[in-house]
Every structure is written in structure tokens, then in C-alpha cells.
Amino acid sequence: MQITFDTDSAFKVGEEGLVLIDSLLAKYPDVARYKFIKSVTLMKLNFGEIQASFLPMLINYRDFETSPSVDYDNGLTLLKSLVAEHPKLKKYKFELALSLYKRGVISTLMEGYDPEKSYFKESKNYLSELSNEFPDNPDYHAYDLYFGFYSQVYNQNGIENIVDNLVSEFENLTKKYPEIPFYENILSAIYSQYYRTTMLSSEKSLANEKMVKILDRLKSNSQNMPGYVYSKIFSILGYQDSYEIVFSTQNNIQFYKNMQYYNNFDLMIDKYNEALSELEILSNDNQDNKIHRLYLSRLYNKIGFYYFSKQDSHKAIESYKTALEILENLNDKYPNSYQIVFALCRNYHDLANVSIDRGFSGLAKATRLLEKSVGLLEHDILAKSERISTKRILADQYELLARINITNHQFIEAIQSAKKAISFLPDSLSANGLLVIAYSLNNKYNLAEDILNKYNKYPKDIHNVFNSELLNRIAIFKNFHIYNTDIEKIEKLLNAQHNIQDKFWHYCKKPKGYYPYISNCPGGWELVEPVTEKK
């Protein structure tokens, strides 16, 4: 029997469950069991929403730009109070340990690893207590070891010192409890995670040795446990993930340096094709399995991305079109699925981005794709959504439309598109940068200057400026400002941006593509060295 999941149905059921449990708590406010159910529902509903923004459809590392809602932290607080009231109930304590660990993962993904935050430490403390109190329950010991390992992974410090011991512990557990696949799964995850980490170090041969062990182990188990096929796929992709995500959105500079250093797009395409052949077998055997088809579209999308990165737009378009065909068929079957619409719109966006580089007919096609995508996202069902991932992709669509408008000399439309992007993500540097250009092209220099001045006091986080393309926008804006006869204003603007430009210029990306305002893929940019500008 195939096991599938549907986050849309889960959200609906979870929200209905919250209404019911609240009504029970209104009548029986002191019943611990009802409080426990509410705390777990709050956290799982919110964690599911966060997962839906980047799992299983992680198309872009910016999808990590989300945060847990107040609901999650409220659920965590409620559960902590229950553990304090009922310290002997292991169920409450175990759930709290799991929830604290998840909160640590969320915090690390969104904000980077912070040793001052105690989520991982608190989680491990509770698990250690349970493991000591109930030594006959291997689950507590297993989680204690596993979470300790992952907290070290996020810390990115010294995991090689604990891997061998951890592997030995879980190999013993798999032998002692062969009927529990969970331990085998953890063992494979440990190998995979260690492989990803060592790929960024000098220990490439050790990483490859670990990779062989992972694949051998997964191959021996995949017939009985279909879930392991997914583990195998993502183990194969571990090399790519190791420098695409780099475990922390704080390390985006390192991400781009690695892209420049490796620049081996052919290898990435080979790896994804290998994974694709594995998944196509599963998917063809069960055409109705939504999650298989979603993963399949994701792999085609990634192959398209790497073809585009090596500037083979023809093959990139073929791959993106295959992904779109899969997703459009899924959308016909599941018209209200957030996962499918989200993935579909990402692919519309990516195909539009490729089409832009194919002349003005490509621009027209890109515009049609984006308008179709925006129409889906602004459908009544999704328009009411507060998911940050929905807002993020809507902002992306409108940003790309603004770039197309600028290239087509549709400057008023460019202002409208940029403003629309900002309405979804008010603090987006890239969207505000596009609005600066659009205003300057419409001779609205005062409005453009207001936006630039807003960022004079922006925190000096290199990764934020690096991601934003704002420096490139500023440079273009200055070029347009030459046509303004107000020399004093030009000098003022140049001086206002001088400090930021001096500090971050060598992180700025310079376009190599046909259209300078809209070329935006890693293969279309190069890192540039600091330059001296003449006033």
C-alpha cells in the first residue's frame, strides 16, 4: 500500500480540530489532556505550514524566508506548562523534546545557527532525562543521540568526532530491533548528512566513501521500504545540496563562492538524471501518487536550472516544459492543492526567466506565463492565505514582470508591477530596487531618492545586500540620473550611497546576459573585483 499525504487536507482538518478543542477547553479549562491536544495541534499545524513552503518543493533557497507563527510558540509554552504540572508523564515530556528540537531547526533555517538559543540544548536535556528514567525504551536513547548529532551539524563544528560512535550505536540498534525501520532510516540520514558536510571540506575522498555506504545500505532496504527510495534520491543529490543550501541562509556568500569554484553544471545534471531514472520507475508504476509526481517535476525543474546555468536555454526550456506538463496535469486532478499551485507557479517563473533571453517573442511568452501564474496565486482560495511562501512567490512573479516591463520600455507598468511586489514583501530590497529604476525611468527622481535614502541606514549584513541586487540597481539608477540636470542632487545621491558601495562592491553581481535589467541566474552573473569610480 502506498502512503501519501496532502497538506491542504491536513490544514483544513487541523484548523477544524483547533475549533473543537477550544470549545472543549472553554467548558473544561483544567483538563490537561485537552491542553495537550491543543498545544500539539498548534505546533504541528504551523510546522506543517513551514514545511510546505520548502518541502518537498525546495526550488529556491529563498523559500527559507519564513518564520514560525505566534501559534507555534504559544503551543510550546502551553506544553512546557503541562510538563511542569505533570513531570512524571513521559508522553508530555517526549512531545516537548520533539517540539523544542523542531523549533531549533526552524530557528536555524530562518536565522542561522545561534549557540545562545537553547532549543537544541533543552530538547536534548529532556531526552537525556527520559533515556535515564526509562533505559528499556530504545526510542528515547535513539532520539537523544540523533538530535545531539543534528545540533552539531547546524553548529557546523566537529561532527566528524561523533559520527563513528553514532554510526556504531545505530548499527547496534538496527541489529537489536530489525523490525523497527526508524533506526535504519536514521543511520542512512546520518551518513547522508555527514556526506554533505564533508563535501565542503577537504575530505572529499572520505565523503565519497560514506556515499557508497549510504547507497549500498539503501539499495538493500528499498524493496521493502519505498520511503528509502526518496532517501536514496536525496543522498545522490547531497553533493549539490551541500553548497546550494550550505545549511544556513546566513552563508549565502559562501554559496556563491562555491558556485564559482565548482561550476560543474554537467556533473549536477548527471546526478539529477540518475535520480530521475529512479523516480520515474516509481512514478510510472503509480500515476495517481501525487507526491511521486511532485518530486518528478522538481527533478525536471532542477535539471532545467542547471542547463540554464550553463547557458543551454534550449535544453533548459525542454526540462521546464516537462515539469510544467506534470504539474498542469496534477493541477487538473487536484485544483485546490497549495503544494501543486506553488510548484506550478515556480515553474512558470523559471520558464519565463529562460524565455526572456530569447528576444522580444520570449518576453511576450514570459509575460503570458507570469500573468497565468499570478492569476492562479491570486485565486480566492490562495488570496486569503497568510503563508509567507505564497507572498514570496507572488513578489517574485511581479518582480520579473517589472523587469520585463522595463525592457519593453513600459515604465508606468513597471512601477505598478514593482509596487505590487512590494505589497507582498514590503522590505524586499530587490523589489524596492526595481521601483527605484522604474521611478527614475519615469523622471520621478524624488520618489526614487526617497527609496534609496530608506536603505542608507540598513543593517550592514552582507548576505542581505548580496541577495538584494540593490547595488546593481543603484549603479543603474546613477546612470539614468545623468540625464537629470540637477547636478547637486546627483552628487548628493552618489555620496549617500558611497559607503555602502565601497563596502560591498566586490560582492555585487554584474550581468553578462542579453538584457542587463533582467538577467538573473547564477550562470548569467559573475563576481567582480572592487573598482574605482570617477565622479
pLDDT in tens, the chain (535 residues): 233 334 444 455 556 666 777 777 787 787 777 777 777 767 665 554 444 333 333 333 333 334 445 567 777 888 888 888 888 888 888 888 888 887 777 676 555 556 666 787 888 888 888 888 888 777 777 777 777 666 665 555 555 566 667 777 777 777 777 766 667 667 766 666 665 555 545 455 555 565 556 556 555 554 444 344 444 444 444 433 433 332 222 333 333 333 333 446 776 777 677 777 767 766 666 666 677 777 788 888 888 888 887 778 889 889 999 998 988 888 888 876 767 777 787 788 788 777 765 555 556 766 777 777 777 766 644 555 556 666 777 787 788 788 778 777 788 888 998 898 888 888 777 787 778 778 877 777 678 767 766 655 444 433 343 334 444 444 444 444 443 444 454 444 444 444 433 433 333 333 333 222 223 322 322 323 333 334 3
Q: For the domain that residue 74 is a member of, what is the CATH number?
A: 1.25.40
- The answer to whether position 36 is within a domain reads yes
pLDDT score at 216: 61
- The answer to whether position 16 is within a domain reads yes
The residue out of 98, 124, 155 marking a domain boundary is: 155
pLDDT score at 352: 77
Which 8-state DSSP code applies to residue 511?
E
Picking from 360, 331, 359, 358, the residue whose alpha carbon sits closest to that of residue 346 is 331
Task: Write down the residue that cell numbers 557546523 correspond to.
Answer: 156
Cell of 277: 531514472
Strand locations in 377-513 (E): 509-511
pLDDT score at 189: 66
- The answer to whether position 363 is within a domain reads no
**Strand partners for 511:** 525
- The answer to whether position 259 is within a domain reads no
The residue out of 155, 177, 203 marking a domain boundary is: 155
- The answer to whether position 70 is within a domain reads yes
pTM beyond 0.75: the answer is no
pLDDT score at 74: 77
Angle among Cα 102, 106, 111 to the nearest 5 degrees reads 150
Residue 527 parent element (H or E): strand 525-527
Angle among Cα 443, 355, 287 to the nearest 5 degrees reads 135
**Strand partners for 509:** 527
- The answer to whether position 301 is within a domain reads no
Range of the structural domain that residue 465 is part of: 404-535
Picking from 135, 125, 136, the residue whose alpha carbon sits closest to that of residue 94 is 125
**Separation between Cα atoms, residue 11 and residue 22, nearest integer Å:** 16
pLDDT score at 290: 74
Q: Are 39 and 79 in contact (CB under 8 A)?
A: yes
Residue 359, Ramachandran bin (φ over 0: left; ψ between -120 and 50: alpha; else beta):
left
3-state secondary structure (DSSP) of residue 3:
coil
Q: For residue 56, is the peptide bond before it cis, meaning its omega torsion is within 30 degrees of 0? A: yes
- The answer to whether position 288 is within a domain reads no
The residue out of 119, 139, 155 marking a domain boundary is: 155
Q: Are 296 and 340 in contact (CB under 8 A)?
A: no
Domains: count for the chain:
2
Q: Are 519 and 525 in contact (CB under 8 A)?
A: yes
Q: How far is CA 457 from the centre of its chain?
A: 28
**Separation between Cα atoms, residue 302 and residue 279, nearest integer Å:** 14
pLDDT score at 114: 62
**Separation between Cα atoms, residue 108 and residue 465, nearest integer Å:** 20
- The answer to whether position 203 is within a domain reads no
